[in-house]
Amino acid sequence: MTAFPLPEPMRRALALAKDAARDGEVPVGAVVTGPDGKIIAEAANAMRTANDPTAHAEMVAIRAAAEKLGTSRLDGCTLWVSLEPCAMCAGAIAMARIARLAFAAEDPKGGAILHGARFFNQPTCHHRPEVMSGIGEEEAALLLRDFFRDRR
C-alpha cells in the first residue's frame, strides 16, 4: 500500500493542533485556503486561553479569512481541520459558503458532519460544501488520544 503525502494545509492544521495541545487546549487546528490553494488564514483552538467558548479553531480561522478577504463569503475556499467540526462550526462553514471541507479525524461524540446532527444533510442547510474526511486521520487521532489520556 502506498502512503500519499499529506497536503500542506492539512500538515499545517496538524501542526497547529500540536501547538494547541502544548497550550492546554484540545488539539484542533484549522487552515483556510483560497481558490488558488494558498493559505489565507489559520488558527488553533483557543477556548481556554481566550475564555471564549466559540473560539474553536474553525471559527477563528473563518473569521480571520473573512477579515483578510474583506467579505463574509468565502466562495471557492477550502477549510482544512484536524477534527470533524461540531454543529456550531458546521453552521459557520455553511454561512461562509466555504466550497470544500477537509478534516482528519472523525468525532463520534461531538462531530456534526458524519455524526450527530449531520448538519449538511438537514433540509434547512442552505449551503453544502464538498466534504473530504480521513486526511491525516491517524496523526490527528493520536494527538487527541494522547491529550485526553494525559488528563485522566
Distance CA 58, CA 29 (A): 7
pLDDT of residue 37: 97
Query: What does the pLDDT look like over 75-102, one tens digit per residue?
Result: 999 999 999 999 999 999 999 999 999 9
Out of 58, 84, 130, 138, the active site residue is 58
Active site residue 84: no
Mean pLDDT in the chain? 96
Domain ranges within the chain, ordered by starting residue: 8-150
Residue 1: pLDDT band by 50, 70, 90 thresholds?
very low
Please give the distance of CA 10 from its chain centroid, rounded to a whole number. Answer: 10
**77 annotated ligand-binding residue:** no
**89 annotated ligand-binding residue:** yes
Asked whether the predicted pLDDT for residue 70 surpasses 60, the reply is yes
**56 annotated ligand-binding residue:** yes
pLDDT of residue 2: 45
Q: Please identify, in words, the CATH class of the domain defined by 8-150.
A: alpha beta
